C-alpha cells in the first residue's frame, strides 16, 4: 500500500470518528397510532353436489382502529 492511500484512509477514519455522533432515540410515547384495513374474499359454492351449477358469494370488510 503506498503512502498516499494510507494517508487518505487514515484521514477518512479520523474524520469519521472526530465528527459528533448523534444518540439514537426510541419512539416518542405520544406517537399517534391508528390502523386502517380492508379485505375481500370470494367463496364459490356448488349446489347440489357434483352439479355444474355454482354461485360465487363475495365478501367485503374493513376496519379502523
Please give the average per-residue pLDDT across 33-62, as a whole number.
86
Note the helical H segments in 1-65. 3-18
pLDDT digits (tens, 9 = 90+) for 5-46: 889 999 988 888 888 777 777 766 776 788 999 999 999 887
Is the pLDDT higher at 48 or at 11?
11
Q: In this model, does residue 59 exceed pLDDT 90?
A: yes
User: Is the Cβ–Cβ distance between 59 and 41 less than 8 Å?
Assistant: yes
Q: What pLDDT is stored for residue 49 in this prediction?
A: 67
Q: What pLDDT is stored for residue 1 in this prediction?
A: 65
Amino acid at each position: 500500500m503506498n503512502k498516499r492511500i494510507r494517508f487518505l484512509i487514515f484521514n477518512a477514519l479520523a474524520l469519521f470518528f472526530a465528527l459528533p455522533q448523534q444518540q439514537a432515540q426510541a419512539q416518542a410515547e405520544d406517537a399517534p397510532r391508528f390502523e386502517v384495513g380492508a379485505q375481500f374474499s370470494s367463496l364459490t359454492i356448488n349446489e347440489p353436489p357434483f352439479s355444474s351449477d355454482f354461485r360465487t358469494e363475495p365478501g367485503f370488510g374493513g376496519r379502523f382502529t
